[in-house]
Structure 1
Amino acid sequence: MVNAAGKFGPYDQPGQTRTPVIGMGHARALPLGGQSGSDLVRSRIALRVRLRSVRPGDRLPDVGVLAEELGISEITVRRALEGMCQDGLLDRRRGRTGGTFVAQDWDTVVAAMHDADEAASVDAFHLLLECGLVAHGSGEVPTERLDGLRALVEEMERTDDQAHLAELEARFHLDLAEALGGPGIREFAADLVGRQCLLLPVPQPEEVREQNRRHAELLAELGRGATDPAVQAVKAHHRSRHR
């Protein structure tokens, strides 16, 4: 049965979204306005495109599957998809092979929706989340839990493909949230990263290279339990996004 209240609060009612924050190893909820059920659907689809689990022209899962995955009602998902079709982000096709598809010109449509001010607000909250996770987990994270993150850093050093670099950058932040806060915090980080995918251009390779240096510094400081330098590495990474 679908949880119509959503995983982190009543997403179906704008203005009543609840956000997990870090405290004593658990997530507790605080109100955060501006994230409706439709926003959640949009951000998660944008994240799927960034992670290349779906690509322009691909068919999305059925409404019931998306509703189950996101923990919101089918009617909320259906309305969100209709809105995205009206915006040109998705295409609706009828018939036996029909369904809802990522628009072929997804990148062009998203580019018209970029909003630097809103992106800065989301990024500020993401910074707060990651600084809290790093401060809370520093010195307590087994080194093997960081191995997957180190592998992502190394892979980013080996590729020059812009789309792949953007994908790896997104994956790093999702995996960092899970390594330091668990699966529930990864879900919340996915909301933030997905919103950033809609609000900011795909990062250029040189930008990701600079950010990846901060990734490496962060993992090195976490590995030796140095809280303050680790937090500074997170801050330096977020500053580089706005240069």
Structure 2
Amino acid sequence: MVNPGGKFGPYNQPGPTRSEAVSDMRDARPLSGRSQTGAELVRARIALRVRLGSLSPGDRLPDTGVLAEELGISEITVRRALEGMCQDGLLDRRRGRAGGTFVAQGWARVVTLLYDADEAASLDAFHLLLECGLVAHGAGELPAGRLAGLRALVDQTDLADDPARLLELETRFHLDLAETLGGAGMRELTGDLIGRLCLLRPAPSPAVVRDRNRCHADLLTELGRGAMDPAVRAVKAHHQAHQRIHPG
């Protein structure tokens, strides 16, 4: 996850929970049946930063030691993950005084070669389950004004024209929704899911993002009313909008 300071954030730092049930959900694993490896964590965090616009093709990554500290994993694991991403063509390694590891100029082109529909479907199903659970838990318990930031993101998405900006705003909506309903730990888990999905399936078109933004607006309306069932249906409608474009 990208924290407000622009860093990756320590992966294992526990976030506040609203109940034992939500705590149990944070410990759940994606439906693929295995936990995320350190290399997948590094890839997911970098992909998320690209989606959020805090990293762009040609940008230099922080040094390996800095990344290891921010992620809470070993420097060897980070170095191996970055080497793998260089081999894939996602990153470039440059030598010399101005050297380092950079986001490849061909990032978007390379990502299209990494798509995995089955893995994406598994992670997307877990994300749907996670959001439905958070919405069901939080409906009727949100204090007045708690949804103001999310409503602002919906309004900004309605006004945005740039495709990259639309993707950034939609991603921030899901991150902020997870934190609003479940705390910092849920935001981090959601960020890792979205980061992995960025490398596994095509980004939605602007028309799809706008369609899903209407689901966001409906969700906030129902959460504001404390209506759990309609709120959960809005989450499912968002998922179905994606499925219409990327079936299976």
TM-score, normalization by structure 2: 0.88
Structure 1 residues 100 and 189: alpha-carbon distance in aligned structure 2, compared to 1, 3 A threshold: same
Do 2:13 and 2:185's aligned partners in 1 also have CA atoms closer than 8 Å? no
Indicate whether 1:59 and 2:57 are aligned.
no
The whole-number CA distance in structure 2 between the counterparts of 1:111 and 1:196 is 12
Q: What does the per-residue CA deviation read over 1:46-105, in whole Å, with 9 as the maximum and x for residues that have no partner?
A: 000000000000001111221122111111111000000000000001111111000000
1:87 paired residue number: 88
Q: Does 1:139 align with 2:140?
A: yes
3-state SS, counterpart of residue 143 of structure 1: coil
Partner of 1:7: 12
Counterparts of 2:58 and 2:203, CA distance in 1: 19
Q: Is the 8 A contact 2:146 2:180 kept in 1?
A: yes
* Pair 158,184 (structure 1): closer, same or farther in 2 beyond 3 Å: same
Q: 1:239 corresponds to which letter in structure 2?
A: Q
Partners of 2:124 and 2:28 in 1: CA distance? 18
Is 1:50 matched with 2:51? yes
- The letter of the residue matching 1:194 is G
Match of 2:27 in 1: 29
**Contact 2:223–2:231 at 8 Å: present in 1 too?**
yes
- CA offsets, 1:17-50, max 9 Å, x none? xxx9x74453553455051000010011000000
Q: What CA distance in whole angstroms lies between the structure 1 residues aligned with 2:11 and 2:106?
A: 30
> Is the 2:93–2:102 contact (alpha carbons within 8 Å) kept by the matching residues of 1?
yes
SS at match of 2:102: strand
- How many Å separate the matches in 1 of 2:28 and 2:21? 15
Equivalent in the alignment of 2:171: 170
Whether the 8 Å CA contact 2:48–2:194 is kept in 1: the answer is yes
**1:137: Cα distance to partner?**
0.6
Select the structure with the greater relative contact order (CA < 8 A; seq sep ≥ 6).
2
Residue 98 (structure 2) aligns with: 97
Asked if the contact 1:218–1:230 (Cα under 8 Å) also holds between the matched residues in 2, the reply is yes
Range with greater deviation from structure 2 (54-63 or 143-152): 143-152
Structure 1 or 2: more strand by fraction? 1
Secondary structure of 1:188 counterpart? helix
Establish whether residue 117 from structure 1 lines up as the match of residue 122 from structure 2.
Answer: no
Q: TM-score, normalised by structure 1?
A: 0.89
Residue-by-residue CA offset, 1:109-152 (whole Å, 9 max, x unaligned): 00111122211110000001000100111111123221111111
> Residues 144 and 186 of structure 1: is their aligned pair in 2 closer, same or farther, counting only changes over 3 Å?
same
Q: Structure 2, unaligned stretches of length 5 or more?
A: 1-9
2: CA distance between counterparts of 1:169 and 1:200?
16
SS at match of 1:112: helix
Matched-pair identity in %:
68
